[in-house]
Structure 1
Amino acid sequence: MQSSHRPCNLLCPVAPSATTAPRPHQRPPHLPGTPPQRLLSPPSRLTQTRLLCCKTAMSTSPSSAAAAGNPQPFKLILGSSSVARKNILNEMGFEFQVMTADIDERSIRREDPEELVMVLAEAKADAIMSRMRISDYQKEGDQPTLLITSDIVVVHEGIIREKPSTKEEARQFLKGYSGGHVSTVGGVVVTNLTTGKKLGSLDKAEVYFHDIPEEVIEKLIDEGVVFRVAGGLLLEHPLTLPFVEAVVGSSDSVMGLSKDVANKLIHEALTLFLVPNKA
């Protein structure tokens, strides 16, 4: 399961520690491409012509411009309190403020992980927008304001894994990953508050593990961080990283926000939707 916008590759293969032995299994397969980006709120007829024109002339990506020291020509709101997502946007060079959705994620259920993450990412955007005066963001001459929300789930043996709620559940999750692999499915939604339009896209990855010692699992549980991430999956934690065999996809996707997807959606939210939504 690999995003269609970048080639599939193996990243950060890690040699097993002295306490673990390599397990005989087929190398991680290439993941099939994800469905193309989908439009969450259809454009009006007035914007369709501009959509077609803009697709043929993509300019420098927003994060590339930020990294080059150019002024950020838009305002950005991260709809999440996730430390990992904050770090990812910081690494991309964006300036942003943080707002949280504060929704009951477990009250929103879907059996399909792709549908679930997109519905949750949209629900977070809607919850944040409900507390805003959207008219303040639609004033002529103001910089456009974008809201980025996302969600991620871990899929292990066909079962969706969200944040563990108990120590026993966290222990069950981590023991299941030991010597095996998990998939992550992430959904990202970017809303242009100036036009009222939304763009959404999926990104997927897989993580392969060496055997994880029980004492490491217990330390992770005692530390408590596992209860704040989907599936209790901590890719770059110092206790976990030595037992990561390979990542198929991007590590930032596993951590909750694909840089490539975020960059693409931010760019298109700025360039594709030039006419405010009058619906």
Structure 2
Amino acid sequence: TPMPPDSASRLNSSTGRKPGSSGSDAGAVESGAGDPLVGMGLPSPLILGSGSFTRKIILKEMGIVYDIVVRPIDEKGVGDRDGDPSELVLTLAKAKCDHLVSVLHNDDGEEGILPQKACEGDHGGWVVLTADQVVTHDGSVLEKPESIEEARSFVAGYATSAPSTVGACVITHLPSGVQVSGVDTATINFLPTVADGDLVGRLVDDGAPVLSCAGGLMVEHPFVREHILGIDGTED
């Protein structure tokens, strides 16, 4: 789930960099020293195939240097919305990976997309991270709302029954093709007050990316936190 705008300051010294740049902030993490990937003998920077604020924050807090390379796919045309949500998000995350890897291999003729290495002498290929998340509620799979009204409809339902987030991450090493993946689920128990007033409208006025969030809400936002009774699982 994306982070709220008031968390943007946490990204000012982010380890994320534009492809081909060395980052605007000097320091041990920016140079690659202290990067857990380097410590494990893996290539750095990590290529992050996601624009999620939360994923960027998590990588920063882990000290992992990354470059963002996002190439969207037609998500609606991938996966079975009537099947297992865990299989759906895993299928989507892998489809995003397949597409991004094809771009990194310059299959579409794109030039200069690969970032600079974080450490001199690093010739070990690349590590690519892609991900996907949906919300399940009353037996339905909720993805990014297509309108503000649909987001309001999603949120109204959370007052009477708890939604769950289902997220998948796929990590792929290039050029070996070795891939690992995982799926995590968390249930968010909202107070009935989540349906009072116009929470979605407040979020939009605050600049929150409501239409970019599966299920229409991001639990990290302080406006949303006011209405959370508890979370069975983790926010990450």
In the superposition, the TM-score normalised over structure 2's length comes to 0.71
Looking at structure 1, the residues matched to 104 and 174 of structure 2 have their Cα atoms a distance apart, in angstroms, of 10
Give deviations 1:20-59, integer Å, cap 9, x for gaps.
xxxxxxxxxxxxxxxxxxxxxxxxxxxxxxxxxxxxxxxx
1:170–1:221 Cα contact (<8 Å) kept? no
Distance 1:233 1:224 in 2: 9
CA RMSD of aligned residues (A): 2.7
Residues 1-279 of structure 1 mapped to structure 2, 5 A cutoff: 66=35, 73-75=42-44, 76-110=46-80, 111=82, 112-133=84-105, 142-211=123-192, 212=194, 213-222=196-205, 223=207, 225-252=209-236
**Alpha-carbon distance in structure 2 between the residues aligned to 1:141 and 1:166:** 45
Q: CA deviation at 1:79?
A: 0.7
Q: Is the contact made by 1:187 and 1:200 (CA closer than 8 Å) also made in structure 2?
A: yes
How has the CA–CA distance of structure 1 residues 141 and 96 changed in structure 2, closer, same or farther, with 3 Å as cutoff?
closer
Partners of 2:51 and 2:199 in 1: how far apart?
27
Higher relative contact order (CA 8 A, sep 6+): 1
- Deviation at residue 221 of structure 1 after TM alignment: 4.3
Contact 2:168 2:181 (C-alpha < 8 Å) held by counterparts: yes
Cα deviation, residue 74, structure 1: 2.0
Task: Output one character per residue of 1:202-246: Cα deviation in whole Å (capped at 9) or x when no partner.
Answer: 111111011212232331244452111111121011110111111
Report how many residues are paired: 185
| Gap regions ≥5 residues in structure 1 | 1-64, 253-279
Q: CA deviation at 1:95?
A: 0.4
Give the conservation status (yes or no) of the 8 Å contact 1:175–1:217.
no
Q: In structure 2, do the counterparts of structure 1 residues 71 and 114 end up closer, same or farther at CA, with 3 Å as the change threshold?
A: closer
With over 3 angstroms needed to count, the CA separation of the structure-2 counterparts of 1:242 and 1:89, relative to structure 1, is same
Q: What SS does the corresponding residue of 1:219 show, helix, strand or coil?
A: helix
Identity of aligned residues (%): 36
Instruction: Give the structure-1-normalised TM-score.
Output: 0.61
Instruction: Give the match for residue 110 of structure 2.
Output: none
Residue 144 of structure 1: CA displacement?
4.0
Distance verdict in 2 for CA 1:94–1:220, change over 3 Å:
same
Structure number with greater Rg is 1
Does the CA contact (< 8 Å) of 1:216 and 1:239 recur in 2? Answer: yes
Amino acid at match of 1:93: G
CA contact (8 A) 2:186 2:232 kept: yes
Alignment partners' CA distance in 2, 1:216 and 1:239: 7
